[in-house]
């Protein structure tokens, strides 16, 4: 099968938005919505680095798109389009069909259009470039945190990292943690609800310690958080109680939850959002004038995820 038949068969879908020209020309052409800004981000997943070798095509597709959705979510943006650069060791139609079905399904959930791509031969890797829109000037940035803002995170931390650690050690993660690892939920709706409320926001991909530090650096502030306040699922809670390895939740990475800061006046409004969306929002600390990240109750330093 040549590339054109492959695209025609697996990646030429109908469009949700005003795509003047999608897959099939040199480029895609899209129409920008008035009074919005364009938001874009790119993430690559590589076999053996970001997912284990035996991961299903469906899980790979899901995660590749979800991690990009998570980046857009962190800006409070509405996802609209994406391009897919897919590198495959061989042309396996069963694999491609499963990959394409899962990708299409998640894209449909967010009304995301696949508007372009490239397929090449090589070690399995997936690069998605996602494009969204945000009302002009309303994006949630890393740079807006203010002294005395409360710091929140969504849901629980460390679940995916715990699954990954167990896989690497030859163990069997719980279904819950494995699902959190393979199928992270991008917090698109939550972030959109936080627009106009949160002063700063980031998605947790490298781990709370490193990612919150980005907010602090960009906002030129510090923070104090309480280790006991970090929200944990039952499996991770049991693991940490046994091992005292808080680093799984602080620096394990792959959470794809949001960390955001809000003025105290919004505490009640957050409770409403939490109830409406059914996503736990936990206060873990406060933004301070003193620079640096002070983690109360942690008596060691976690090694952050290093890309090299």
**In this chain, which of 46, 108, 147, 269 binds a second copy, going by CB under 8 A?**
46
291 binds a second copy (CB under 8 A): no
| Residue among 123, 120, 95 at smallest CA distance from 10 | 95
Residues 12-31 that bind a second copy (CB under 8 A): 20-21, 24-31
State how far the Cα of 211 lies from the Cα of 114, in Å rounded to an integer. 29
State how far the Cα of 63 lies from the Cα of 183, in Å rounded to an integer. 6
The two beta strands, 150-154 and 281-288, are: antiparallel
**Token pair for residue 122?**
């090589």
Tell me the three state secondary structure of residue 9.
helix
State how far the Cα of 75 lies from the Cα of 124, in Å rounded to an integer. 29
| Residue among 185, 195, 184 at smallest CA distance from 77 | 195
**In this chain, which of 14, 54, 94, 122 binds a second copy, going by CB under 8 A?**
122
**In this chain, which of 39, 57, 107, 293 binds a second copy, going by CB under 8 A?**
39
Cβ-based neighbour number of residue 153 at 10 Å: 26
Cβ-based neighbour number of residue 186 at 10 Å: 26
**In this chain, which of 56, 87, 174, 237 binds a second copy, going by CB under 8 A?**
87
Which range of residues in 147-155, 168-176, 283-291, 300-308 is near a second copy by CB under 8 A? Answer: 300-308
State how far the Cα of 30 lies from the Cα of 42, in Å rounded to an integer. 18
Tell me the three state secondary structure of residue 232.
coil
Q: Compare residues 167 and 202 and give the one whose CB is closer to a second copy.
A: 202
State how far the Cα of 42 lies from the Cα of 7, in Å rounded to an integer. 21
Q: How far is the CB of 218 from a second copy (least distance, A)?
A: 7
**In this chain, which of 105, 143, 241, 243 binds a second copy, going by CB under 8 A?**
143
Q: How far is the CB of 46 from a second copy (least distance, A)?
A: 4
Sheet (strand 281-288) strand order? 200-203, 258-262, 150-154, 281-288, 222-226, 292-296
Binding flags for a second copy, 183-202, as an x/- string (CB under 8 A): -------------------x
Counting every residue written for the chain, the total comes to 308
Q: How far is the CB of 224 from a second copy (least distance, A)?
A: 23
Which range of residues in 113-121, 158-166, 182-190, 224-232 is near a second copy by CB under 8 A? Answer: 113-121
Q: How far is the CB of 234 from a second copy (least distance, A)?
A: 29
Q: How far is the CB of 172 from a second copy (least distance, A)?
A: 26
Give the binding site for a second copy (CB under 8 A): 1-4, 6, 20-21, 24-32, 36-44, 46, 48-50, 71-72, 74-75, 77, 81, 83-85, 87-88, 90-91, 115-123, 125, 127, 129, 131-132, 134, 136, 139, 141-143, 202-203, 214, 218, 304, 306-308
């Amino acid at each position: 099968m040549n590339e054109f038949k492959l695209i025609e068969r697996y990646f030429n879908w109908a469009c949700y938005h005003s795509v003047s020209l999608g897959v099939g020309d040199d480029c895609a052409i899209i129409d920008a919505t008035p009074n919005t800004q364009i938001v874009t981000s790119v993430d690559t997943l590589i076999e053996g680095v970001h997912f284990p070798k035996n991961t299903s095509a469906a899980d790979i597709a899901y995660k590749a798109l979800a991690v990009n959705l998570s980046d857009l979510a962190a800006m409070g943006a509405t996802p609209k389009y994406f391009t897919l650069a897919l590198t495959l060791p061989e042309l396996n139609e069963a694999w491609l069909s499963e990959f394409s079905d899962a990708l299409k399904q998640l894209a449909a959930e967010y009304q995301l259009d696949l508007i372009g791509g490239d397929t090449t031969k090589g070690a399995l890797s997936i690069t998605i470039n996602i494009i969204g829109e945000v009302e002009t000037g309303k994006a949630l940035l890393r740079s807006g945190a203010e002294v005395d803002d409360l710091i929140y995170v969504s849901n629980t931390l460390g679940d995916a990292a715990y699954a990954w650690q167990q896989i690497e050690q030859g163990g069997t993660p719980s279904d819950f943690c494995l699902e959190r690892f393979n199928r992270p939920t991008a917090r698109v709706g939550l972030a959109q609800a936080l627009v106009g409320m949160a002063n700063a926001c980031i998605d947790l991909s490298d781990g709370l310690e490193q990612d919150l530090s980005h907010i602090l650096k960009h906002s030129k502030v510090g923070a104090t958080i309480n280790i006991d306040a970090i929200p944990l699922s039952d499996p991770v809670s049991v693991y940490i109680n046994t091992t005292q390895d808080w680093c799984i939740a602080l620096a394990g990475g792959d959470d794809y939850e949001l960390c955001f800061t809000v003025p105290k006046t919004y505490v009640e409004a957050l409770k409403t959002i939490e109830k409406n969306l059914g996503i736990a929002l936990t206060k873990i600390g406060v933004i301070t004038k003193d620079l640096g990240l002070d983690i109360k109750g942690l008596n060691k330093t976690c090694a952050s995820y290093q890309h090299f």
